[in-house]
């Protein structure tokens, strides 16, 4: 509606600029900011009357009119969400060629809390800087605008742009969890609007952040030092996803885009047929005594077809308004993403035990393969926030969120293409395997919050939250067969025969797994601001109680081929006559009664008291203590003769913290924080069950795990030189007692390696962080760097030939960094922003240094990851006043993820029989490549509409 | 000033609480469920048994398992001679403590499933053979089991999937279904004069332990796969005078894989065993059908007889057996047909060295340039040693008439004792020293360590050796 007027105004402005270009020399300039937050109002319209010149506010918050004829002018500023500015008068002429003005704008939104910012601008990165500056604690913030402009479409991928954060990726290369300051995902909690949300994941306690489309967010806070009023189970940090608030006026935005991953130019997307999958297992339908027949299982999900060149798409719409004279605000936002991702993964698997020749712990690869992942993810998110402002002292808000994700993953593993036990240069037995996984995850959360200012000095706020998170894996199915490849002495293939395996191998498996996590939680806080010794002090006290119920079900059927000998040819799933070799294997009493079939409860009660005051004129002190009590129990359906069929764990923690903020000047400060925090083991870590669904090794839980406790120290210097610029430099130190590390252990059965969580020796973790953000007119640079150093000492096996006792396995201590901790991580983004053209471009580079990917049980054979860097490009161009074009290109350099073992591959080759070499190696290197994952380049482009 | 006092007070408060480790630790406690203890004493035979158990099963009684019985750590289940245990597909014997089954030649003990008949028809498909269904779960020892002793004991029809019986150390993976599992490197496993009939996977998985496996008979062991006496990392002892017929994979195997810290290197001395129709389920080039030494295993194997085994005995070179400490010789092989004789010295990651004491003498059929450290497929022609030097069993026709190879997987009415003139007589090496690591005791150890015999295989013409 306003489009033509606006456009014509811009055209007039442009014409005027050209026509008038060299006639005058006077300049009028100024800056425009929010009176409340001080943030610059980029893009605000500035009109110079009476000559009717217009311009817009630049990235650094400034505007400039050049070549103005001498005279008296009035400056008028307007922008959405703000009251029109007061008229500012300026005068130019001989003797005063430069006139300057500073214009403060009043937001139309009603705000109650100190840092509660509403309105359209709430998601800007300048607000983010202001919040960081004003915050009582050490934190970093990503604004919605930064995320929108970033190359990332999920919150998890956006996380990697935050200082000190690396991301743990899933099979498709998509970020899922954050590693903060070298601390693994277990040490970091995730909140949504300050409330802890349960996870649909069967392994981790906290919500995987790739479930959230980034456009649902107003901002993402990474808080690295905890105050007593925050939940104490974060050692690396707390991530708070602040969802969009209701706007102060009618708002409608919509977007849609399409994209493509170039990995599917090299190969098609391999899909399986989804229809016909039964959501319940035979034992769930017909009882645990029922003897399942092969005919009870569908073959459709083991039937594969190619989808050439699949197209990705994303859609989103947000609508909001405020009614009843501004008292009632409503926002509703929905999004849908359909993404096809693929990975090619070269893997060399170390055998369960190294060789003793040529020396102790000689690397011995057992299998190699080129694995392919094909994943289609459909993600649907709906959220709604309603707030009602009774009066300036009372406010209620209700937040509802529902996220649903279907993901269909086809994994193809041709095991042992060249290296392998029982293989030679001339004959190899390969076991190709397909696995089909339909994963359904959903989360629902309802949060009701109230804020009440009881008097000038006393305020109360409370929260009641109900959440439920579920995951289902209906009929995860695998099929494998034998491929016998015979080569001549020159390595040429003589023959390939595909046969049905009749050994003890399970030819076809079907697994049903589902879990749910339900939380009922109540939070309450009371703030009292008395004046003591004539100075304001803020006392806060409060607590929380959470009752969590978790259930888990796991049922796997394994069938064998009913063929007389190993030479029956294999063509497809229908060519395999299946049967259960022993009847018990078909009955739920054997397959579904296990330790992974359990109900667990966790009751957390916490209380705290904290005080905040100015100890000196420029020294703010915030400190206090929090007590958290945890009561955990689990109960499986195992028989009474089974040890560890149930268990309970109780503990209480006292968590003091103190935070100093010393303001050197108005825009620079030094912060010093100490806090004690904990990390609770995940349910999956505690239940003593072997989970065979892991992609690497089977996983074994440990009910004797203790929770981790940590002392954390933080020192940070911060400078906010200009409105959007910042320089942060800090150091941190953490000491963890009973840290939980995943060990690869040779627990049961000689050939099998298991991953088991264990409490290791105390860990120290320290490092330094630096953040630098600067804008030069249209250009911006945003850089951060983190150095982390952690050390843990654990016993490792050495297997060696001894003089007297033959081959012996002994334990030797080895010191290493924590798993996943990179010494160096950094991000560099270059931004270009042209308000007039409506063009935004960002080139983002992310670097993660060398780190341990997998800890080996054997000395010196840990699997390390090479430094991983990605280069992504994103851009936005305004097409009309309401429509913006955007594009994102990910992984421009096609960087592979490469993992290696510090053992020369030439030595491995020397130990292998006749003329036979390990694949995927880097010529001339002194290591052995254990894994290489390729994701290829992908892109996405679309339009965004904003009313 | 006052503000400083307040600040100091706050710091003091924080410092006080941060010193509260102990307070918090005292409050923490972890409890994991432990199964209740059994009553002990003489075990009544009138009701089905279920759950924790210890005490004595008395002579002549038949005990029915209502569910898996569990011998707790530190306890013993003792079977007097002449005890029968009837199990079913949902039951087995879980051993955290000790199990001693003292059958005698006159009164053997029997672990079986009621109402099932052995079907020894030749060439029976495994899916139609009750031996390969897995009708009960077998004897499942945890890592804490100090002693498993089986004398004159029949273990029939085991091989059901363990399923939910116990923690993960027993149910090693989904579908684990060994007839016998033993896994304590400091524990002893004695098996003498006993019989195992049937199975679905490895018949005896000895993950580690001190073993003495003498004079036993194994029929139809393994299902569509599975080795028979499968010793892994940290197992030491002697395996001798055993008779195997119709095993899926190997009869006797040794590997040092999975050697626990503090456990010895796998060292198995094997002698005087007979393997008939071994490796029914294997593909040449991948496995062996009689004896296999792999990955870091040391020891010795002498005086064995292999009759129509799909693939000859192997010393594996990837991953390499401890060839520097492995000796072998005086091993006999018989082939009805060329497909067997061509695998006397097999291919595919092996380094089995032909020995001049072997029968037939390798110089009869191996070419002079035979490269034993890594032989290729079809490296020699075995035609000249097909049906060479008949062992002349008392009642077993060689070559087999009117049936395909591997048709017979049980003894039935056959008799593999030797007759005078057998090529097995007097060809053995009796200078081999058995590796005795278990006590000699009529109850708590081995009754007899039978020394190597001069006749190849498990039956000696003088009546010693295997007593079945």
**pLDDT value at residue A756:** 84
CB-CB neighbors (< 8 A) of A429 in chain B? 283, 285-286
Q: In the predicted model, what is the mean pLDDT of residues B315-336?
A: 94
Q: Contact, A387 vs A396, CB < 8 A? A: yes
Report the residue of chain B nearest A809, measured CA to CA: B261
Express as a percent the part of chain A with pLDDT over 70: 89
CA distance to partner chain A, nearest, from residue B364 (Å): 26
Residue B57: half-sphere exposure toward Cβ, Cα within 13 Å:
33
**pLDDT value at residue A752:** 62
**pLDDT value at residue A927:** 94
Q: In the predicted model, what is the mean pLDDT of residues A775-798?
A: 88
Cβ neighbors of A202 (< 8 A, separation 6 or more) are A471, A513, A515, A552, A684
Model pLDDT for residues B127-151, shown as the tens digit of each residue: 889 999 899 999 999 999 999 999 9
Q: What is the mean pLDDT of chain A?
A: 84
Using the predicted structure, report yes or no on whether residue A119 has a pLDDT greater than 60. Answer: no
Confidence band of A53 (pLDDT split at 50, 70, 90)? confident
CA distance to partner chain B, nearest, from residue A871 (Å): 42
Cα angle for residues A804, A805, A808 (degrees, 5° grid)? 130
CA neighbor of B423 nearest in space, from B327, B342, B333: B333
Report the residue of chain B nearest A626, measured CA to CA: B17
CA distance to partner chain B, nearest, from residue A638 (Å): 7
Report the residue of chain A nearest B67, measured CA to CA: A639
**CA–CA separation, A220 and A41 (whole Å):** 20
**B173 and A690: CB-CB below 8 Å?**
yes
Q: What share of chain B is helix, strand, coil (3-state, %, to 5)?
A: 10, 30, 60
Task: Return the structure tokens found at B99.
Answer: 């199990």
SS3 B342: coil
Any idea where the domains of chain B sit in the sequence? 49-418
Indicate the residue of B32, B281, B325 with minimum beta-carbon distance to A503: B281
Report the residue of chain B nearest A686, measured CA to CA: B32
Indicate the residue of B7, B33, B232 with minimum beta-carbon distance to A750: B232
* Selected residue of A749, A754, A808, A917 to mutate for chain B interface (largest B Cβ count, 10 A): A749
Which neighbouring-strand residues pair with B205?
A: B181, B230
**B281 and A566: CB-CB below 8 Å?**
yes
Which neighbouring-strand residues pair with B36?
A: none
Indicate the residue of A352, A582, A747 with minimum beta-carbon distance to B133: A582
Q: In the predicted model, what is the mean pLDDT of residues B310-322?
A: 91
Q: Contact, B85 vs B60, CB < 8 A? A: no
Task: Return the structure tokens found at B75.
Answer: 């306890």
CB-CB neighbors (< 8 A) of A619 in chain B? 7
**CA–CA separation, B390 and B392 (whole Å):** 5
CB-CB neighbors (< 8 A) of A638 in chain B? 164
CA distance to partner chain A, nearest, from residue B247 (Å): 12
CATH of A3-105, one of 2.40.10.10, 2.40.30.10, 2.60.40.1120, 1.10.357.10: 2.60.40.1120
Express as a percent the part of chain A with pLDDT over 90: 36
Q: In the predicted model, what is the mean pLDDT of residues A248-256?
A: 88
**Quick one: CA dihedral B439, B442, B446, B452, positive or negative?**
positive
If one compares A370 and A815, the residue with the highest pLDDT of the two is A815
Of the listed ranges A379-383, A413-417, A758-762, B276-280, the one predicted with least confidence: A413-417
Using the predicted structure, report yes or no on whether residue A945 has a pLDDT greater than 80. Answer: yes
**CA–CA separation, B118 and B113 (whole Å):** 11
CB-CB neighbors (< 8 A) of A689 in chain B? 168
Q: Contact, B406 vs B413, CB < 8 A? A: no
**B281 and A355: CB-CB below 8 Å?**
no
Strand stretches in A454-577, DSSP E: 458-480, 482-487, 493-499, 508-528, 531-532, 535-561
Indicate the residue of B94, B208, B376 with minimum beta-carbon distance to A426: B376
**A427 and B317: CB-CB below 8 Å?**
no
Q: C-alpha A840: how far from its chain's center?
A: 25
**Quick one: CA dihedral B152, B156, B161, B164, positive or negative?**
negative
**A533 and B2: CB-CB below 8 Å?**
yes
CA distance to partner chain A, nearest, from residue B227 (Å): 10
Helix or strand run (H / E) with residue B18 = helix B2-18
Q: What is the mean pLDDT of chain B?
A: 91
Task: Return the structure tokens found at A900.
Answer: 């290696």
Q: How far apart are the first and last CA of chain B?
A: 99
**A582 and B161: CB-CB below 8 Å?**
yes
Phi, psi (deg, nearest 5) at residue B340: -80, -50
pTM of the model: 0.81
**B11 and A658: CB-CB below 8 Å?**
yes
Which neighbouring-strand residues pair with A34?
A: A105
**CA–CA separation, A943 and A317 (whole Å):** 12
Model pLDDT for residues A672-727, shown as the tens digit of each residue: 999 999 999 988 888 887 777 665 677 888 888 899 999 999 999 988 887 668 89
CB-CB neighbors (< 8 A) of B314 in chain A? none
* Selected residue of B19, B32, B160, B374 to mutate for chain A interface (largest A Cβ count, 10 A): B32
CB-CB neighbors (< 8 A) of A424 in chain B? 318, 347-349, 374
Place of tokens 């997987």: B409
If one compares A291 and A54, the residue with the highest pLDDT of the two is A291
CB-CB neighbors (< 8 A) of B32 in chain A? 643-644, 646-647, 688, 703-704
**A424 and B348: CB-CB below 8 Å?**
yes
**B259 and A505: CB-CB below 8 Å?**
no
CA neighbor of B227 nearest in space, from B167, B164, B168, B297: B297
ipTM above 0.85, yes or no: no
**A751 and B281: CB-CB below 8 Å?**
no
Q: Contact, A247 vs A119, CB < 8 A? A: yes
Report the residue of chain B nearest A802, measured CA to CA: B265
CA distance to partner chain A, nearest, from residue B284 (Å): 10
**B17 and A355: CB-CB below 8 Å?**
no
Cβ neighbors of A239 (< 8 A, separation 6 or more) are A159, A178, A180, A188, A189, A190, A191, A209, A220, A221, A222, A223
Report the residue of chain B nearest A705, measured CA to CA: B30
CB atoms within 10 A of CB A359: 11
**B173 and A357: CB-CB below 8 Å?**
no
CA distance to partner chain A, nearest, from residue B85 (Å): 19
**B377 and A640: CB-CB below 8 Å?**
no
Q: How far is CA A228 from CA A624, A681, A713, A822, in A?
A: 6, 21, 15, 30
**pLDDT value at residue A112:** 31
**pLDDT value at residue A16:** 41
**pLDDT value at residue A37:** 62
**pLDDT value at residue A251:** 86
Report the residue of chain A nearest B350, measured CA to CA: A422
Q: Contact, B255 vs B207, CB < 8 A? A: no
**CA–CA separation, B295 and A499 (whole Å):** 27
**CA–CA separation, B352 and B369 (whole Å):** 15
**CA–CA separation, B375 and B366 (whole Å):** 11
**pLDDT value at residue A396:** 93
Model pLDDT for residues B164-207, shown as the tens digit of each residue: 777 777 877 767 899 999 999 999 999 999 999 999 999 999 99
Q: In the predicted model, what is the mean pLDDT of residues B107-111?
A: 98
Indicate the residue of B7, B13, B265 with minimum beta-carbon distance to A625: B13
**CA–CA separation, A611 and B3 (whole Å):** 12
Q: What share of chain A is helix, strand, coil (3-state, %, to 5)?
A: 10, 55, 35
**pLDDT value at residue A120:** 34
DSSP code of A197? -
Any idea where the domains of chain A sit in the sequence? 3-105, 258-946
**CA–CA separation, A448 and B394 (whole Å):** 88
Using the predicted structure, report yes or no on whether residue B340 has a pLDDT greater than 80. Answer: yes
If one compares B46 and B86, the residue with the highest pLDDT of the two is B86
**A658 and B68: CB-CB below 8 Å?**
no
Using the predicted structure, report yes or no on whether residue A423 has a pLDDT greater than 60. Answer: no
CB-CB neighbors (< 8 A) of B259 in chain A? 353, 799, 807-809
Q: Contact, A176 vs A155, CB < 8 A? A: no
CATH number of the A258-946 domain: 2.40.170.20
Q: In the predicted model, what is the mean pLDDT of residues A152-167?
A: 78
Report the residue of chain B nearest A708, measured CA to CA: B25
**pLDDT value at residue B102:** 96
Q: Contact, A250 vs A81, CB < 8 A? A: no
Strand stretches in A273-327, DSSP E: 304-307, 312-323
**A533 and B6: CB-CB below 8 Å?**
yes
Indicate the residue of B52, B127, B348 with minimum beta-carbon distance to A422: B348
Phi, psi (deg, nearest 5) at residue A274: -80, -30
CB-CB neighbors (< 8 A) of B94 in chain A? 641
**CA–CA separation, A662 and A670 (whole Å):** 5
**pLDDT value at residue A177:** 82
Q: In the predicted model, what is the mean pLDDT of residues B244-261?
A: 92
């Amino acid at each position: 509606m306003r489009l033509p007027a606006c456009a014509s105004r811009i055209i007039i402005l442009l014409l005027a600029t050209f026509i008038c270009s060299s006639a005058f020399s006077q300049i009028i300039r100024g800056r425009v900011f929010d009176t409340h937050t001080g943030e610059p109002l980029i893009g605000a319209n500035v009109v110079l009357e009476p000559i009717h010149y217009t311009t817009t506010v630049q990235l650094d918050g400034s505007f400039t009119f050049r070549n103005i004829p001498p005279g008296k002018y009035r400056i008028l500023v307007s922008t959405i969400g703000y009251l029109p500015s007061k008229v500012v008068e300026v005068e130019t002429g001989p003797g005063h060629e430069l006139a300057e003005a500073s214009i403060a704008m009043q937001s139309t939104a009603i705000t109650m809390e100190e840092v509660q910012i509403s309105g359209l601008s709430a998601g800007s990165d300048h607000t983010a800087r202001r919040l960081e500056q004003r915050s009582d604690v050490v934190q970093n913030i990503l604004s919605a605008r930064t995320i929108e402009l970033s190359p990332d479409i999920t919150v998890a991928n956006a996380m990697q742009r935050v200082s000190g954060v690396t991301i743990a990726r899933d099979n498709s290369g998509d970020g899922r969890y954050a590693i903060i300051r070298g601390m693994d995902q277990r040490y970091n909690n995730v909140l949504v609007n300050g409330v802890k949300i349960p996870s649909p994941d069967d392994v981790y306690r906290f919500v995987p952040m790739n479930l959230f489309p980034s456009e649902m967010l107003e901002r993402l806070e990474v808080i690295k030092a905890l105050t007593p009023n925050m939940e104490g189970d974060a050692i690396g940090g707390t991530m708070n996803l602040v969802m969009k608030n209701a706007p102060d006026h009618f708002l409608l935005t919509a977007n849609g885009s399409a994209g493509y991953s170039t990995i599917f130019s090299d190969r098609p997307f391999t899909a399986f047929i989804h229809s016909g999958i039964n959501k319940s297992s035979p034992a769930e339908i017909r009882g645990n005594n029922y003897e399942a027949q092969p005919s009870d299982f569908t073959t459709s999900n083991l039937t594969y077809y190619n989808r050439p060149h699949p197209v990705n798409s994303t859609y989103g719409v947000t609508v909001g308004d405020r009614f009843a004279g501004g008292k009632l605000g409503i926002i509703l936002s929905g999004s849908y993403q359909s993404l096809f991702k693929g990975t090619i993964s070269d893997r060399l698997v170390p055998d369960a035990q190294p060789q003793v020749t040529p020396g102790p712990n000689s690397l011995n690869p057992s299998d190699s393969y080129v694995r392919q992942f094909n994943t289609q993810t459909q993600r649907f998110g709906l959220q709604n926030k309603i707030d009602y402002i009774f009066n300036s002292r009372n406010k209620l808000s209700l937040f509802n969120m529902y996220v649903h994700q279907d993901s269909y993953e086809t994994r193809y593993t041709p095991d042992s293409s060249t290296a392998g036990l029982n293989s030679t240069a001339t004959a190899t037995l390969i076991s190709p395997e397909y696995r089909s996984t339909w994963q359904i995850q959903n989360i629902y959360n309802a949060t009701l919050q109230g804020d009440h200012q009881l008097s000038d000095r006393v305020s109360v706020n409370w929260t009641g939250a109900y959440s439920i998170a579920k995951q289902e894996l209906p009929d995860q199915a695998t099929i494998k067969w034998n491929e016998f490849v015979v080569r001549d002495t020159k390595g040429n293939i003589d023959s390939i025969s595909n046969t049905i395996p009749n050994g003890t191998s399970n030819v076809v498996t079907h697994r049903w797994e589902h879990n749910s996590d339900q939380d009922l939680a109540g939070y309450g806080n009371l703030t009292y601001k008395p004046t003591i010794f004539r100075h304001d002090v803020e006392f806060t006290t409060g607590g929380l109680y959470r009752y969590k119920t978790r259930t888990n079900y796991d049922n796997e059927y394994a069938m064998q081929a009913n063929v007389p000998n190993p030479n029956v040819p294999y063509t497809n799933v229908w060519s395999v006559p299946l049967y259960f070799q022993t009847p018990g294997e078909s009955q739920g009493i054997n397959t579904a009664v296990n330790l992974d079939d359990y109900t667990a409860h966790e009751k957390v009660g916490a209380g705290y008291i904290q005080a905040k005051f100015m100890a000196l004129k420029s020294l703010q002190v915030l400190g206090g203590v929090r007590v958290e009590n945890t009561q955990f129990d689990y109960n499986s359906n195992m028989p009474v003769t089974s040890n560890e069929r149930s268990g309970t764990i109780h503990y209480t923690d006292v968590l003091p913290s103190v935070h100093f903020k010393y303001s050197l000047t108005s825009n620079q400060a030094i912060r010093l924080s100490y806090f004690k925090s904990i990390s609770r083991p995940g349910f999956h870590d505690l239940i003593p069950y072997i989970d065979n669904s892991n992609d690497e090794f089977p996983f074994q839980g440990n009910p004797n795990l203790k929770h981790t406790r940590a002392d954390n120290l933080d020192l940070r210097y911060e400078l906010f030189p200009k409105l959007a610029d910042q320089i942060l430099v800090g150091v941190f130190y953490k000491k963890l007692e009973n840290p939980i590390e995943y060990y690869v252990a040779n627990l049961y059965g000689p050939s099998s390696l298991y991953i088991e969580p264990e409490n290791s020796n105390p860990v120290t973790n320290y490092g330094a962080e630096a953040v630098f953000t600067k804008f030069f007119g249209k250009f911006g640079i945003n850089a951060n760097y983190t150095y982390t150093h952690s050390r843990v000492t654990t016993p490792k096996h050495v297997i060696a030939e001894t003089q007297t006792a033959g081959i012996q396995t002994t334990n030797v201590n080895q010191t290493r960094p924590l798993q996943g901790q990179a010494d160096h991580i950094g991000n560099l983004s270059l931004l270009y922003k042209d308000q007039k053209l409506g063009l935004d471009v960002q080139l983002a580079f992310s670097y993660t240094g060398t780190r341990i990917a997998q800890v080996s049980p054997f000395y010196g054979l840990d699997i390390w990851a090479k430094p991983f860097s990605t280069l992504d490009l994103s851009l936005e161009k305004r097409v009309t006043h309401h429509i913006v074009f955007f594009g994102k290109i990910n992984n421009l350099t096609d960087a592979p993820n490469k993992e290696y073992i510090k053992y020369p591959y030439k030595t491995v080759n020397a130990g292998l029989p006749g003329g036979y070499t390990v694949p995927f190696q880097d010529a001339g290197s002194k290591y052995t490549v254990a894994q290489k994952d390729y994701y290829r380049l992908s892109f996405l482009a679309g339009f965004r509409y904003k009313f | 000033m006052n503000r400083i006092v307040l600040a100091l007070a706050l710091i003091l408060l924080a410092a006080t609480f941060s010193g509260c480790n102990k307070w918090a630790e005292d409050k923490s406690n972890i409890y994991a469920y432990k199964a209740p203890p059994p009553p002990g004493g003489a075990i009544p035979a009138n009701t089905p048994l279920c759950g924790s158990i210890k005490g004595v099963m008395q002579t002549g009684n038949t005990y029915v398992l209502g569910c898996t019985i569990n011998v707790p750590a530190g306890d013993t289940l003792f079977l007097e001679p002449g005890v029968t245990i009837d199990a079913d597909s949902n039951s087995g014997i879980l051993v955290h403590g000790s199990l001693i089954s003292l059958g005698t030649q006159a009164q053997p003990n029997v672990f079986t499933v009621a109402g099932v008949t052995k079907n020894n028809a030749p060439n029976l498909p495994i899916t139609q053979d009750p031996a390969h269904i897995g009708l009960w779960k077998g004897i499942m020892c945890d890592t804490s089991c100090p002693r498993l002793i089986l004398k004159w004991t029949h273990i029939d029809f085991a091989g059901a999937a363990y399923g939910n019986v116990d923690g993960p150390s027993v149910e090693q993976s989904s579908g684990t279904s060994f007839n016998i599992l033993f896994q304590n490197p400091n524990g002893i496993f004695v098996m003498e004069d006993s019989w195992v009939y049937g199975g679905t996977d490895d018949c005896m998985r000895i993950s580690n332990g001190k073993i003495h496996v003498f004079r036993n008979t194994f029929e139809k062991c393994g299902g569509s796969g599975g080795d028979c006496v499968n010793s892994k990392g940290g197992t030491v002892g002697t395996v001798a005078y055993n008779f195997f017929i119709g095993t899926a994979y190997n009869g006797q195997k040794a590997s040092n894989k999975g050697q626990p810290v503090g456990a010895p290197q796998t060292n198995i001395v094997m002698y005087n065993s007979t393997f008939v129709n071994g490796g029914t389920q294997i593909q040449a080039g991948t496995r062996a059908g009689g004896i296999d030494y792999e990955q870091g295993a040391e020891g010795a194997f002498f005086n064995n007889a292999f009759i129509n085994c799909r693939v000859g005995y192997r010393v594996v070179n990837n991953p390499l057996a401890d060839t520097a400490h492995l000796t072998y010789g005086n091993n006999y092989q018989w082939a009805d047909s060329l497909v067997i004789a061509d695998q006397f010295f097999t291919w595919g990651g092996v380094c089995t060295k032909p020995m001049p004491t072997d029968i037939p003498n390798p110089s009869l059929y191996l070419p002079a340039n035979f490269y034993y450290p890594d032989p290729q497929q079809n490296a020699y022609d075995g035609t000249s040693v097909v049906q060479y030097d008949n062992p002349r069993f008392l009642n077993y026709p060689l070559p087999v008439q009117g049936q395909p190879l591997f048709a017979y997987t049980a003894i039935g009415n056959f008799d593999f004792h030797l007759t005078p003139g057998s090529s097995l007589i007097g060809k053995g090496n009796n200078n081999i020293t058995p590796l005795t690591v278990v006590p000699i005791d009529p109850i708590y150890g081995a009754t007899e360590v039978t020394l190597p015999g001069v006749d190849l295989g498990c039956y000696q013409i003088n009546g010693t050796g295997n007593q079945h």
